[in-house]
Structure 1
Amino acid sequence: MFSLKIVKFSLVLFYVILCTKTMNVTKETLVQIQELLKYPRWKNLNDVNSIKYIEKIYNLKSIIEKPTRLSEYAQKVRILTVYLGCSYAKVMNNLFLIIIKCLQISNNKNKEKNDLLNGYINTEELINIIALFIVPTATLMKGALDTLDLLRKSLLTTSKIKDYQSYIMILILEKIEDIINKLNNPFLSCDVTNFSTFEILHSFSNNVIDNLKYETELYCEFVPYDTNYLWNEWNQKYKAIIDKGVKIVFVKFLTRKINDYIKTVIIEKYIQLGFNFDPITEETFVPTSEELIEPNDDLEFK
């Protein structure tokens, strides 16, 4: 009898400790989410009208401003994750449409001139653009979405919604992060023509566009826009520069424009949303401080 009482007491004590820890984690998570949503840029993610989640339509502004019960916070964070994923999808769609345009133009010129060497340089420079700008951006985006998803999972103990295993964009971003490894495959040796690399990059870029279309059709309602607007805008600016007699290779001009575009994206859709990057662990995190700090955009971007 005595031993049975000890066992019962131990079980009660165990559950009290467990519940206390859970409540503390939940409280800390709630503070993180509340402070995160104080960053005004959340209300300015204006490229997505609404998102669809569990057969319901949600508007971002109403989700942010609506007072939420503890039991609903996990769902709220999930909706924010989907919304941000939609916004990130548009960015990646813009970038890979430009990569495809450049590959097509380069390939057409090479066929006309039979200039394989020039084609190799152009393809390699596009690979460098992907490695220097697009892959790191995909890493930051995935980090932001991972961070939100972890905050959501820490709230699931008080939530009635199911724990979905993944979120919009996760597989696409992982593939983008891995493309350089694929292009550096040792089986693509020197005696293999450049078109092997070209075809891999072209096929990969088209695959990204197709996957983005599939996922965004399921979840995202974008503000209507011309998908080629960025390419058309940059092309016109390049022609204006050339008409003034300034000599600049298009791919160099393109590199500058993508650099500027990526910088704006990282500042507006990452830093100004309250996400931080740890250069040591190479991970994204949300500050736990209760004080809302306005980030130094230039410093954080560097």
Structure 2
Amino acid sequence: MFSLKLFMFIFLIFYMILYTKAQNYPINTNEKLDNLLKYQGWKNLNDVSSINYCKKIYYVRNLIETPSSVHKGDQKIRALTIYLGCIYAKVMINIFLIIIKWQEICKNKNKEDHDLLNGCIYAKELINIIAKLIVPIATLLKGAMDALDSLHQFPWAHFKMFRNKPFMIILLLDRIGYILDELNDPNLSCDDRSTNSSTFESVYKFFKSIIALLQVETGLFCEFVPSNRNYLWNEWVQEYRIINQGEMLIFFKFLTRKIKYYIKTVIIELYFQLGFKFDPITEETFLPTPEEPIDLDLEFKAIDEEPPTPVQIENH
């Protein structure tokens, strides 16, 4: 019995030595991280003042400006990934709030005006916005978080035990794509009012639930700089000036253009200018080498593709 215990003890020590060597933190990981943080975009981030992780508060400026160390590299990578998640969560909440606000106005409008044709156009436009703008931006932002976290010795994406904890914003970004599966057939019938109503209701409930989950998650980790929750909607409404009940379609077209411009700005400022690159072949985000410049025009050509099965909108 004694010899068996001794053997097991020796085996355990031997295994720990081998495992430690296998998981030794690569020095060039710190270099990759520091090179990434040299991109100008990191210095322009100002929506989040600090983040909470493992009972410790991390201040954003310290994370960005302090050189990475061998012993605290993983800690810094994880904190920065959470920090990025806080920023991206706010972006998605901003977009969802715009859609929800518009839907609420549209819902009140439909009670007064039973225009079946406009209801069909709104539903198709809404699906187009989700398919061509919202789902792609969510996928892109999740890819950036995965790329940053891939520098960690134990990336969340590689370990099933981390799939639900401790940071669900990555999973929520991934879940946004599921809304397309929940919607009715994209070839909506303009003769069926119930189909249009069902589409609106599905989107409304889905976005509401995602907002609630994102707010719970950011409440645990993120310390945001105080701001008006509906600041984007208020700015756009002020720009449009007067919302006339007879101009709902024009207003929606206006919102569509604003959402598209907002998303393009997010991609530039919170993706490319942070050093992330997109591979159009694998459709994955990766970190560039220090010598590899980012050409925004080429990058946009790579990601600004029409979806394989775009939703057709009739011209009226």
- TM bin (shorter chain): 0.7 to 0.9
Q: CA deviation at 1:126?
A: 1.7
Alignment of 1:204 onto 2:203: no
Residue in structure 1 matched with residue 265 of structure 2 by the alignment: 264
**Could you list the per-position Cα deviations for residues 211-249 of structure 1 after superposition, in whole angstroms to 9, with x for gaps in the alignment?**
11111110111111111111111112122799xxx9981
Residue in structure 2 matched with residue 32 of structure 1 by the alignment: 32
Amino acid corresponding to residue 181 of structure 2 in structure 1: N
Which sections of structure 1, spanning at least 5 residues, go unmatched? 1-11, 157-162
Q: Secondary structure at the match of 1:153?
A: coil
Q: 1:68 to 1:191 in 2, by over 3 A?
A: closer
Q: 1:231 to 1:290 in 2, by over 3 A?
A: closer
Residue in structure 2 matched with residue 301 of structure 1 by the alignment: 300
Scaled by the length of structure 1, what TM-score is found? 0.82
Q: Secondary structure at the match of 1:152?
A: coil
Is the deviation greater in 246-255 or in 164-173?
Answer: 246-255
Residue in structure 2 matched with residue 99 of structure 1 by the alignment: 99
**Could you list the per-position Cα deviations for residues 254-278 of structure 1 after superposition, in whole angstroms to 9, with x for gaps in the alignment?**
1111111111100110001110000
Q: C-alpha distance in 1, partners of 2:151/2:85?
A: 16
Amino acid corresponding to residue 273 of structure 2 in structure 1: Q
Q: Secondary structure at the match of 1:277?
A: strand
Whether contact under 8 Å (1:26, 1:154) holds in the other structure is: no
Residue in structure 1 matched with residue 217 of structure 2 by the alignment: 215
Q: C-alpha distance in 1, partners of 2:254/2:48?
A: 29
Residue in structure 2 matched with residue 115 of structure 1 by the alignment: 115
Q: C-alpha distance in 2, partners of 1:247/1:211?
A: 30
Q: CA deviation at 1:81?
A: 0.3
Q: Secondary structure at the match of 1:249?
A: helix
Q: C-alpha distance in 1, partners of 2:85/2:34?
A: 20
**Could you list the per-position Cα deviations for residues 13-43 of structure 1 after superposition, in whole angstroms to 9, with x for gaps in the alignment?**
xx88x94x766x8133222212111112112
Which sections of structure 2, spanning at least 5 residues, go unmatched? 1-13, 302-316
Q: Secondary structure at the match of 2:26?
A: helix
**Could you list the per-position Cα deviations for residues 157-199 of structure 1 after superposition, in whole angstroms to 9, with x for gaps in the alignment?**
xxxxxx844534122111212211221469x996954221111
Whether contact under 8 Å (1:74, 1:155) holds in the other structure is: no
Whether contact under 8 Å (2:50, 2:59) holds in the other structure is: yes
Whether contact under 8 Å (2:184, 2:199) holds in the other structure is: no
Whether contact under 8 Å (1:85, 1:168) holds in the other structure is: no
Select 1:224's aligned residue among 223, 226, 239: 226
Q: Give the structure, 1 or 2, with the largest relative contact order (CA under 8 Å, sep 6 or more).
A: 1
Whether contact under 8 Å (2:33, 2:68) holds in the other structure is: no
Q: C-alpha distance in 1, partners of 2:77/2:215?
A: 23
Residue in structure 2 matched with residue 238 of structure 1 by the alignment: 240
Alignment of 1:57 onto 2:45: no
Q: 1:110 to 1:185 in 2, by over 3 A?
A: same
Is the deviation greater in 233-242 or in 202-211?
Answer: 233-242
Q: CA deviation at 1:63?
A: 1.4
Q: C-alpha distance in 2, partners of 1:102/1:191?
A: 19
Whether contact under 8 Å (2:27, 2:70) holds in the other structure is: no
Q: CA deviation at 1:253?
A: 1.2
Scaled by the length of structure 2, what TM-score is found? 0.78
Alignment of 1:279 onto 2:280: yes
Residue in structure 2 matched with residue 254 of structure 1 by the alignment: 255
Q: C-alpha distance in 1, partners of 2:60/2:128?
A: 36
- What is the Cα-based RMSD across aligned positions, in Å? 3.1
Q: Secondary structure at the match of 2:241?
A: helix
Q: 1:226 to 1:155 in 2, by over 3 A?
A: closer
Q: 1:294 to 1:206 in 2, by over 3 A?
A: same
